[in-house]
Amino acid sequence: MTTAEYQYSEDVESVEQHVRSIMTTLSSCMKTFTRLSGISPPLFFDNICHKLLHTSEDNDGNTCLEQHISQFEKLQRRVYALESELLLVVGIHAEIMILQDAAHRISHIISCLEDVWCCNTEGSYILDKMHRNGELLYQA
């Protein structure tokens, strides 16, 4: 094996390790996603709406929603950073679709939380009406 072949072999192995490391970190992020949203995101949102509709203080509900949004946004930033890192290391790679799917799932949860937040800001009666009529984003 020539020196150039040996160096290429080491580089390929290093890149493969880096990709595995990115995917391991993504796996950890998705475990956090599942811990935050539960096994069933629709049930997660039903529980949030139930709590909001049975809480006397609108501000307490909005604070809770803002905390949820913040947690998912932090997770989203981490997944976007992993996606950027993967693109820098190997360019377009098979794993990019996995990262993009994860980013999309997190983004959808954030959009649904923001939808509930907006309805709740208008008043709990609006949230109740939208929830009962199945008009919230997560119910689509």
Determine the Cα–Cα distance for residues 63 and 1; give it in Å rounded to an integer: 62
Q: Tell me 133's DSSP state.
A: T
For Cα atoms 133, 140, 68, give the angle at the middle one, nearest 5 degrees. 95
Higher pLDDT, 94 or 71: 71
| Section 23-46 average pLDDT | 95
Determine the Cα–Cα distance for residues 76 and 110; give it in Å rounded to an integer: 9
Share of the chain above pLDDT 90, in %: 69
SS3 label, residue 40: coil
Q: Is the pLDDT of residue 15 over 90?
A: no
pLDDT in tens, 37-89: 998 999 999 999 999 998 765 456 788 899 999 999 999 999 999 999 999 88
At position 137, the amino acid (one-letter code) is L
Domain-wise residue ranges, the chain? 3-139
In the chain, the largest separation of any two C-alpha atoms, in whole Å, equals 74
